[in-house]
Structure 1
Amino acid sequence: MNQGAGSDPSADRSRDAGGTQPSPYERLGISPEASFDAVQEAKQARLAELGDDPQAKARIEAAYDAVLMDRLKERQQGKVSSAARSASQREATRPALATPPTRPALPALPSLPALGRPAFQAPNLSLPRFALAEGRERWFPLAGHAALLALLLFAPAASAELVLALATGVTVVNLQRRNGRLLPAVGWSVLLLSLGLLAGGLALQLLDPALPLGLPLAPPQVQSLPAILLLLLGALLIA
């Protein structure tokens, strides 16, 4: 590198006025207001013109470095170069780009109607209230179950299932009349029927088959008797 590589760019500019050596800008063939791109292009052009002369290329490289140092010092001192000012002016005078068209607004989707929750009331599983029925709620189950009990005792054994079904229906109707609710009436009637059949089955296991009962009863009839009695008690007492 020659002396131009280590010289101060401001000194080179002063020598441009009255010195004997050309300034870095003169070596590159540019003005002090040239942009950075112009400095780059001038350097490449000068190097291409010099061919294989290493000393001449070194002077061009030194001039390029001096120009860069000059620009760096100006920035550190808060100075704005004329190239930057001209670039800002060109940017300000450039016509503004057209605003990109906005997308058309899509139509809003219709809102779905709010669906109300189905009114479902859980059945009341609390313990029943016991009270003796009066009036029609007392005589209806008494007459119905008495007739069904007589049918069970004096009819063939094959009618035991039908008698139990009818007795359960009588209990359901009477309980529904008393408390005004069908589901609890059905639930208690089925529960009483199940307990009665269970008690009748235990009675068949405990009774001696040789023990005379006074009536020629078949096992299905004996098993159905507790169920009918429990259904009658439930129809009279469950309120």
Structure 2
Amino acid sequence: MTLIKHASTFILTAFALIVIAGSPALAQKAPEFSNDLMMDNKTYVYLIAEKLEYRSVNGVNPLMWEVQGYAGKDLNKFWFKSHGEALTTENEAEMEFQGLYSRAIGPYFDVQTGVRYDLAYEGNGNNSRALAVLGLQGMAPYFFHVDGGMFISEDGDISASLEAEYDLLFTQRLIGQPIFETSIAVQEVPEWGVGSGVNDVGLGFRLRYELQREFAPYIGINWERKLGETADMARARGGHVSNLSLLGGVRMWF
């Protein structure tokens, strides 16, 4: 009887230990809370040269760039953007810089606000202006990348721009990219060659080959056309209203 009693006690004790050890509350201890466990609290840094290219157009052959990047978390970021072009045959260039606070308003779009600074020089003279920015950037349905903004200059002039592009994957490394660009202005700004209404429209196509995901040389074609009062101002200055150019460049990101 004593042996049976001891055996029963051993079995009950072993069963109790198994039940306790299998309890979810004791099987594993939850880690101490840390903000690092929250994915939207991680800081990201990203920089991309979307376009670094040479264009063959009307003998002036400009170098053109479009660079942007950000630092921040999923919801809140600081964005830097710059684009412009410099002529290789003349001492002339136009460039734009933006510093923006960006806030995610959904899975695919960020609203952005900040400042923009424009600088243009020709010969020994230069011109500059500052503008306030309100923009929207992200991915529209069917995977169109959209970047648009409204601008108010220090003189109260209002304008807006829109760029949309799409990636066509011919293979995993060979990718075509059609691009559409346009801009409008409420007031004319003669010193910047801008008329009221729709200023211009641009269509382009770039074919890149990703040697690595971070580095892709490309070739392409680009067409630009000034419209309305902006075209009239270009004609009055002896400039070109429409340009068709072949181009080559590199796209890279970090």
Q: TM-score, normalised by structure 2?
A: 0.17
More strand per residue: 2
Larger radius of gyration: 1
More helix per residue: 1
Pick 1 or 2: higher relative contact order, CA cutoff 8 A, min separation 6: 1
Q: TM-score, normalised by structure 1?
A: 0.18
